[in-house]
Amino acid sequence: MELKANKAFLIPPRSEPSEEILSAARIISKGGCVAVPTETVYGLAANALNEEACKGIFSIKNRPYIDPLIVHVSSFDMLNDIAYTNELALKLAKKYWAGPLTMVLKKKDVISDIVSANLDTVAVRMSKHPIMNALIEASNVPLAAPSANPFGYISPTKAEHVKAQLGDKIELILDGGQCQCGLESTIISLVDETCPKLLRYGPISKEDIEETLAMELEIPKANPAQPTAPGMLKAHYSPNAQFSTFTEISEIEEGFEGAIIYLKRPELITKDSYWLSEDGNLEEIAKNLYDLIRFCDKTYKNIKCQCPKNEGLGAAICDRLRRASEK
């Protein structure tokens, strides 16, 4: 028999979910929480349509209920189930999904006030990490997942970071190795189509999104009284050590005692010198940033970290370093 051009080949074959994914999906379906890798940072996931399960996330993270959760979807159908889209959202989704972009949209009623912190919007993201997507598919529900760290601390980029801080509170951590981006997703509000807003700097730069939309992004002034995106809170992503930043090496005061984190290998290396990349590659810097800060936070009372140029991906890195410096 002649083989016809087989339509089935147009759809990538789906492999069976692994035993680990199936166990994780069972925990999700019982209303539990699972730590799961994404390309940005590890998330603490629960069924976004189950209020009690989502309350578990807040309790494990010690997260205040005023801080809404990001909901992860694995398909456009799932997106349409939970949020009202618009032209700008579709444009951005087409360009950047699956990937490190979160969009804030008007929510549908299936999203409870617990998830949205009483806002009428929901933050939605489609990760490109195969483990996150496999878990959503196996669970067959959208997953609410904030970063898997205690509220206010820097996000985990390795499974062992999650284990160290939340290991005794969660049943299962899916280990996907080190996260590729290392910084939390860029968040854009598209609720008002005439005025898209950048709520959080991230791996996809402001400049890039502005070019795609052919529009400028507004950056709302942080309003501590109404933290609609507490990722915008001044003190967030904070290590325990005294943390400060520098631009030029000459700014480091003589006699400084503590870890010095450089963007690239410095000329003068002391026992307390660390560097985020050999040659100053921004992607590598972003990927290693939280891991190295966590490492130094275990051994030093003081940490100084060099800031890159405040543009492109550098803007997201500077943003996190600034917040880490606030106490």
By CB under 6 A, name the binding residues for ligand TXA. Answer: 38, 40-41, 43, 67-70, 102, 104, 116, 119, 121-123, 125, 145-147, 184-185, 187, 199, 228-231
In sequence order, what E strands does 81-155 have?
A: 83-84, 101-107, 121-125, 143-144
Tokens (6 digits) for 113: 């006030």
Q: Rounded to the nearest whole angstrom, what is the least distance from the CB of residue 135 to Mg ion in the complex?
A: 19
Query: Which partner from the list ligand TXA, Mg ion, none does 68 bind, CB cut-off 5 to 8 Å by kind?
Result: ligand TXA
Candidates 45-53, 140-148, 169-177, 295-303: pick the segment binding Mg ion (CB under 5 A).
Answer: 140-148
Query: Which partner from the list ligand TXA, Mg ion, none does 123 bind, CB cut-off 5 to 8 Å by kind?
Result: ligand TXA
- CA–CA separation, 37 and 45 (whole Å): 10
Binding to Mg ion by residue 228, rule CB under 5 A? no
DSSP 231-286: GGSSS-S--SSEEEEESSGGGSPTT--SEEEEEE--SS--TTEEEEESB--HHHHH
For Mg ion, give the closer residue by CB, 116 or 147.
147
Q: Which residues contact 92 (CB under 8 A, 6 or more apart)?
A: 101, 103, 188, 190, 209, 212, 213
Q: Rounded to the nearest whole angstrom, what is the least distance from the CB of residue 111 to ligand TXA in the complex?
A: 9
Closest CA relative to residue 165, chosen from 180, 154, 176? 154
Q: Rounded to the nearest whole angstrom, what is the least distance from the CB of residue 275 to ligand TXA in the complex?
A: 25
Query: Which partner from the list Mg ion, ligand TXA, none does 228 bind, CB cut-off 5 to 8 Å by kind?
Result: ligand TXA
- CA–CA separation, 68 and 73 (whole Å): 16
For ligand TXA, give the closer residue by CB, 66 or 249.
66
Q: Based on C-alpha coordinates, what's the Rg of the chain?
A: 20
Q: Rounded to the nearest whole angstrom, what is the least distance from the CB of residue 304 to ligand TXA in the complex?
A: 25
Q: Rounded to the nearest whole angstrom, what is the least distance from the CB of residue 173 to Mg ion in the complex?
A: 16
Closest CA relative to residue 152, chosen from 165, 143, 171? 165
- CA–CA separation, 177 and 190 (whole Å): 32
Q: Rounded to the nearest whole angstrom, what is the least distance from the CB of residue 212 to ligand TXA in the complex?
A: 19
Question: Which one of residues 40, 116, 147, 186 is an interface residue with Mg ion (CB under 5 A)?
Answer: 147
- CA–CA separation, 92 and 89 (whole Å): 5
Query: Which partner from the list ligand TXA, Mg ion, none does 141 bind, CB cut-off 5 to 8 Å by kind?
Result: none
Give the footprint of Mg ion on this chain (CB under 5 A).
147
